[in-house]
Amino acid sequence: SKEAKLINNELSLYLNSENINYFPENEILPYDHFSAPDNILSDRFSILNSLDKGKKIIITTIKSLFELYPTKDFFQSKETFNLGDSLSINKLEKILISLNYEKVNRIEGINQYSLRGGIIDIYTPIYRNPLRIEIFDDSVESIRFFDLETQSSIEKSNNFRLSKSSLYTFDDHSLKIFRDNWREYFQEYDERHCEIFQNLNTSRKAEYLIVIHSLY
């Protein structure tokens, strides 16, 4: 990781730094029960999301190269909204739920949203800072980025995009593939005593996304 960062810094001295991106490791092991830091998740998501926007030089590690990543279609499925667009709180919340965002009282990290009247805060991984959207009379009234710690506005925006909350797809299709492969590889084990199987349909399912896709 240090060598990759060094190469990235050296290349930036000689080439256009905008076309050079350091793709960080996720810094977690397959069976760790926690996610990578938000800044790393955001950087990885943003770089993968920008690969179809011209030629780029990506500096990363061998470990990162051998990870499984979504196809290009995954990143094309984004919702985009502009100031003045017709959009109700209920519709926006349904979109967030469909994208597997977690509703909380106050957002503390990526992939969360909170709702207070006509104001909805969203922390989507494609941005380094969370969004604060104000909706009035079913119309997008205001779009701002804000600081997570101070809650103060950083800058205004004319539009915002919503992406899926994770690089790993957690749907019926991926679950079926996981279950089929698990049963094939671990035939001697009783799935009824497997913690992963017992928790697949609970709020703890996000802990197993990497494990599931390791057996995909």
pLDDT tier at 204, thresholds 50, 70, 90: very low
Tens digit of each residue's pLDDT (9 = 90 or more) over 74-103: 666 567 899 999 999 999 999 998 888 889
Residue 18 confidence (pLDDT) above 50? yes
Average pLDDT, the chain: 80
Strand 119-123, strand 131-136: pairing:
antiparallel
Per-residue pLDDT, averaged over 173-190, amounts to 78
Question: How much is the pLDDT for 79?
Answer: 78
Query: What pLDDT, in 10s, does the model give residues 121-138?
Result: 999 888 889 999 999 999
Q: Which CATH class is domain 77-162?
A: alpha beta
The mean per-residue pLDDT over the stretch 180-209 comes to: 67
Structure tokens at 76: 């094309």
Does pLDDT of 55 surpass 50?
yes
Please give the sequence-ordered ranges of beta strands (E in DSSP) within the chain, or none if there are none: 20-22, 57-59, 79-82, 102-103, 112-116, 119-123, 131-136, 139-146, 153-156, 159-162
For the chain, the straight-line distance linking the first and the last C-alpha, in angstroms and rounded, comes to 26
**How confident is the model at residue 213, as a pLDDT?**
46
What pLDDT is recorded for position 203? 45
Instruction: Tell me what pLDDT residue 191 has.
Output: 72
Residue 193 pLDDT greater than 80, yes or no: no
pLDDT attached to residue 19: 78
Across residues 154-178, what is the average pLDDT? 79
Domain range list for the chain: 2-69, 77-162, 172-214
Task: Name residue 176's amino acid.
Answer: K
CB count, 10 Å around CB of 169?
A: 17
- What's the pLDDT at 16? 74
Percent of the chain at pLDDT exceeding 70: 81
